[in-house]
Amino acid sequence: MKYGITLAGIPGAELKGEYAKKAQDEGFNSAWSDDNPGSDGSIHMTSMVKSAPDIRVGSGILRAFLRNPVTIASAFMTMNAMSNTNTILGFGTGTKRQNLYQYGIEINKPISQLRSVIGIVRNFWDCAHDGSLFSWDDEFYKIKGIKAVKAQHIQNPNNKQTKEFNIPIWVAAVNEKMQQFAGEVADGLCGHPVFGADYIRDVVQPNIDIGRKNGDINTPFELASWATTVVHKDKDEARRLAGQTIANYLSTKSYQGILQYYGIGDRYEDIRQACLVDRDMDRASALIGTEVIDRIAITGPIDEVAEELKKRYEGIVDHVVVASAGITDFNDRIETIDSIISCKIAR
C-alpha cells in the first residue's frame, strides 16, 4: 500500500512546496494540493513539483469546469516536465451549489461534461506527443485546430524525451453514478474524506467494478482513500476536530446517502443547520457522534494513528492519502501533517 498526504491544510504555495519536500524525503509516494476560491491548485502544484521533483504531486482535486480543458492539459504537461516522476490530475466536478454560487457557472450535466473534459485533455496530450493537429466538437466544447508544442520540447530543450509521457487522471466520486463513471474512464479514484474503509469496501469498490466492466478496461486502476486524520494526545479532542470536518462535508445535500449508510440520515437537517446557519462546528461534530467518527476518521496519539492507518486500509485501497482534519484552527491541521510526515509510516 502506498502512502500520500494532502497539503490542503498548509497555507501558501511556498510552504506547500517545503512540505512536499519533507514528504518526499520521508518516503511518501504522493503529495496533494487543494483548489478553492483564493487558493489556486495549479499554482500550488507548480511550487510543490519544483521543490519536490521525486514525489508524485497531484491535484486533490482540481475543479473540472472552472478552466478550459486545453488550459488544464497544458498546465499539467508543463508541470509534468518539471517532475522526475509523473504528476496526477485529480478531477472533481464540485457540487451544483458550489459551481453556481461560488463561481457563477451552471453545470446541468456534470458527468457528461466531465467525460468531455477528460476526452479533450487526453486527446490534446496525444496530439502534443506526436505533433498532430488537435480539434474537438461536442455539445460542451468546440475547438478547431490547435498545434500544440510537442511534449519533448517542453521536457528537454534538446528535444530528447527524458521519460514516458503518462499523466494519470483520477476522479473524485461521492455518489454511485460518479463512482461507476470513475471506474469506466479514469486511472484512479480520489476517495472522499468522509469515506470510511467499510464504506469503500461495501459501496465504492463494487461501483468501481461496475464501471470497469462497463468500460471493458483491463488497465490498472489505483483506488485511493483520503483518510480523515487528527493527531492529538487527547483522543476526545482529536475526535471533536475530525467530527467538524466530517460534518462540514456531510452538510452537503447530495451526500445524504453516506449519512444513511452510517445510520444517521435522520440528523441531516440538524447537521446542516449547525454547519451552514449557526456555524456551530462543535455541535455539528457532536451530531455526527463518536461511533460514526471512529468509523470514518483515524484519531489520537501518533503511534496509535500510524498503526491504525496501516491496519484499517491494508487490503482495502491501493493508496491511502492522509487528510488532516479540523475547521476552526489551521494549526491543528499543521500539527497532524507534521506528525504524520515525521513518523516514518511511509518508510
Spatial separation of the C-alpha atoms in residues 291 and 289, rounded to whole Å = 6
Which is more confident, 318 or 161?
A: 318
Cell matching residue 85: 516522476
SS3 153: helix
Q: What is the pLDDT of residues 176-186, one digit of tens each?
A: 999 999 999 99
Cell matching residue 289: 457522534
Angle at 39 between CA 125 and CA 204, to 5 degrees: 65
Q: What is the pLDDT of residues 74-92, one digit of tens each?
A: 999 999 999 999 999 999 9
Residue 27 is predicted with a pLDDT of 98
pTM: 0.95
Which is more confident, 218 or 60?
A: 60
* Whether the predicted pLDDT of 164 surpasses 80: no
pLDDT band at residue 154, thresholds of 50, 70 and 90? Answer: low
* Whether the predicted pLDDT of 137 surpasses 80: yes
What are the structural domains of the chain? Answer: 2-234+297-343 (3.20.20.30)
Strands, E assignment, 101-179: 133-137, 142-147, 169-172
Cis peptide before 105 (omega within 30 of 0): no
Q: List CB contacts of 333: < 8 A, sequence separation 6 or more.
A: 9, 10, 324, 325, 326
Total residue count of the chain as it appears in this document: 347
**DSSP tag of 200:** I
In this structure, is the dihedral angle defined by the CA atoms of residues 200, 345, 323 and 109, taken in order, positive or negative?
A: negative
